[in-house]
Amino acid sequence: MPFIERIPLEQGFSDVHDAEVMPVLQELELERQARERKTWIRSGLIVAGGIAFAILVTFLFGPRLAGAAVLIAVVMAGTSIWSEWSTGEARFRDTLADALMPIVCGHLGAMKYSADGSAFSLDEMVELQIVPTHEKAWQSSLLEGTHQGTDFQIVHAGLTTRIDGGNTQVFEGLLFRITLNKPAPGRIGLMRDRGGLVNKLAETFAGEATRSWPRVIFDEDAAFENAFAVYADEPDAARDYLDGPFRAALLEVADLAGGDKGAESLLAGFDGPHFYMALERKGGFIQMGSLTTDATNIRKCLHGVFDDLAMAQAVVERIGAR
């Protein structure tokens, strides 16, 4: 089946799909079939091992422990099989993305992709309290480049910390770093507006964090004021910097990237030459294919990739227009 172009970003890609993508996918389909067979074989061996364990326990300790042995075997085998398939799925998706994203980026120009997102630094975003403090982080699907003269980096990330002895995820979503054409005056934080009392409590216990900076009020812009609580270390300069058109652009970003949740799904900030944004989002970014799906039939996944890229470019356009 041909690749049907739906959105402007896909214009001209149907020819690229037929000439460049399909030959790669035909090779990768053979690899996918081999990987799937190996995963089924490993899963079968795990099941066989679980059955052998249950039989051995029953033989050594008698029928009274048979039920417990079967339960242990089922739990261990189920966990191992889940890990086997989820790992295989992730690795094959990375293989697909590594093979196809250079073609997609070549079609769009001035953009590159890496499955490994560790080159994206989180330090500034933690300092601005755009993402929470954490003990562990995973980062993948790093997209970086230039769009309409504006440099950007976007990465898919998950952050965890230990709470009550267990690992708890405190963030999953997309992180943006966009180079500003007009640097911000100092540091500005766009926090969620939780209402007067909650905002005051957060400010009281903020210590030296972003909410300890002076609040910048925009009484003349109710939509923006309802969406964000703005704090800045140079409040007068920040008010001038966040003029009406730029506030409108930031609200557009919230609508474009945040979906139904809008501004509730994101935190953002400025630090001199850079704009940072953390967008809460479940699910993958630049996600392609499956270990159990014919690799030559991923047109729907490719459309999803272009949707991700269109959203990313729209965000960069609005921030870069400042």
Q: What is the pLDDT of residues 298-314, one digit of tens each?
A: 899 999 999 999 999 99
Mean pLDDT, the chain, rounded, equals 87
Residue 195's pLDDT is 55
pLDDT at 207: 40
The whole-number average pLDDT for the span 237-246 is 93
| pLDDT recorded at residue 264 | 85
Q: Does 257 score more than 70 pLDDT?
A: yes
This prediction's pTM? 0.84
Residue type, 196: G
The answer to whether the CB of 151 falls within 8 A of the CB of 170 is no
Q: What is the pLDDT of residue 204?
A: 38
Q: What is the pLDDT of residue 24?
A: 94
Which of 40-49, 174-183, 252-261 has the highest average model confidence (pLDDT)?
174-183
Cβ atoms of residues 133 and 126 within 8 Å:
yes
SS (H, E, C) the chain: CCCCCCCHHHCCHHHHHHHHHHHHHHHHHHHHHHHHHHHHHHHHHHHHHHHHHHHHHHHHHCHHHHHHHHHHHHHHHHHHHHHHHHHHHHHHHHHHHHHHHHHHHHHHCCEEEEEECCCCCCHHHHHCCCCCCCCEEEEEEEEEEEECCEEEEEEEEEEEEEECCEEEEEEEEEEEEEECCCCCCCEEEEEECCCHHHHHHHHHCCCCCHHHCCEECCCCCHHHHHHEEEEECCHHHHHHHCCHHHHHHHHHHHHHHHHHHHHHHEEEEEECCEEEEEEECCCCCCCCCCCCCCCCCCHHHHHHHHHHHHHHHHHHHHHHCC
Stretch 59-69: mean pLDDT, rounded? 74
Q: Which of 255, 267, 266, 273 is nearest to 320 (CA)?
A: 273
pLDDT tens string 101-138: 999 999 998 899 998 999 999 999 998 889 888 889 99
Residue found under tokens 């703005």: 230
pLDDT 10s digits, 159-211: 998 877 777 888 999 999 999 999 999 999 998 865 554 444 444 333 445 67
Q: Which of 42-56, 135-149, 270-284 has the lowest mean pLDDT?
A: 42-56
pLDDT in tens, 136-164: 999 999 999 999 999 999 999 999 988 77
pLDDT reading at 316 higher than 90: yes
Q: Is the pLDDT of residue 2 over 50?
A: yes
- Closest alpha carbon to 107 in 75, 77, 133, 145: 145
